[in-house]
Amino acid sequence: MSIVADALQAWNPLYSLSGFIVGTLVGLTGVGGGSLMTPILVLLFGVAPTTAVGTDLLYAAVTKGGGTIVHALHGTVDWRITRRLACGSAPATILSLLMLSWLGNTAGHAANGLITSALGFALLLTAAAILFRRWILDYLAHHVDNMTESRSRLLTVLLGAFVGVLVSISSVGAGAVGMTVLLALYPRLPTVRLVGSDIAHAVPLTLLAGFGHWLMGSVDWLLLFSLLLGSLPGITLGSHLGARVPDHYLRPVLATTMAAVGAKLSI
């Protein structure tokens, strides 16, 4: 009973409010929560980058787990693509976590510095993927046209490895970056199946990375609960409002904001 009372006393309603705002934006635009939540925790609330990333990874695992169930029930997950991505991301995630653990044990604040720089890079990359997706896809279409099955499999595994490193260090990149490349690699598949496959892959990826961060002591469970308390109703509201708010207005605003924050973190 005293544990619950202590938790309620330490609870910060601003965390839940932030979770609600981010959840609503994710429901409206589909942009990954990590690209919005992690910078808010670091820049506005002064949360240590390692703690912000570790907590956000488990936050993403819970929220995307619900999305995976919905897509699986509707048959919009291509498990072949999900397995290919996981074959690359799983070993890359483990190696990234080992590197972060080594930096934390031997170089003091070096892990925080690496995470801050990686977060800035990931936000800039995500902003570019959102703003210039059409041009990126047109460019890639000329290089992946008539691609063989073996080559698309290899590139998907390599994409998984890249996303695994990026997400493990920054918690950002699985959504906009991964989807942009998948759209180029599998142009004949319906977009909804690629979205479902990407979300399904994000669940084990963020769980594995989040578990590793937890072992390193960089997960704040009260913060995680506070974020979920706001984000779950926010995602529900955003999903209902999504059809009424023009997406082509929101995405450029979000992408520009991410680019500005990414530039600030990278300096």
Predicted confidence at residue 125, as pLDDT, reads 81
Contact 167, 118 (CB under 8 A): no
pTM above 0.75, yes or no: yes
- Per-residue pLDDT for the chain (267 aa), expressed as one digit of tens each? 444 455 455 568 889 998 888 878 776 666 666 677 888 888 888 888 888 889 989 988 887 787 788 778 888 889 999 999 999 999 999 999 998 888 876 655 666 777 888 888 888 887 887 777 778 777 777 666 677 788 889 999 999 999 999 889 888 776 777 888 888 888 888 877 888 888 889 889 999 999 999 998 889 998 998 988 888 888 777 767 655 666 566 667 666 766 776 676 665
Burial label for 147, CB within 10 Å (0-12, 13-18, 19+), is middle
Predicted confidence at residue 22, as pLDDT, reads 82
Other Cβ atoms less than 10 A from the Cβ of 264: the count is: 12
Predicted confidence at residue 85, as pLDDT, reads 95
- Domain extent listing, the chain: 12-266
Predicted confidence at residue 254, as pLDDT, reads 67
The DSSP-derived string for 22-81 is HHHHHHHH---THHHHHHIIIIIS---HHHHHHHHHHHHHHHHHHHHHHHHHTT---HHH
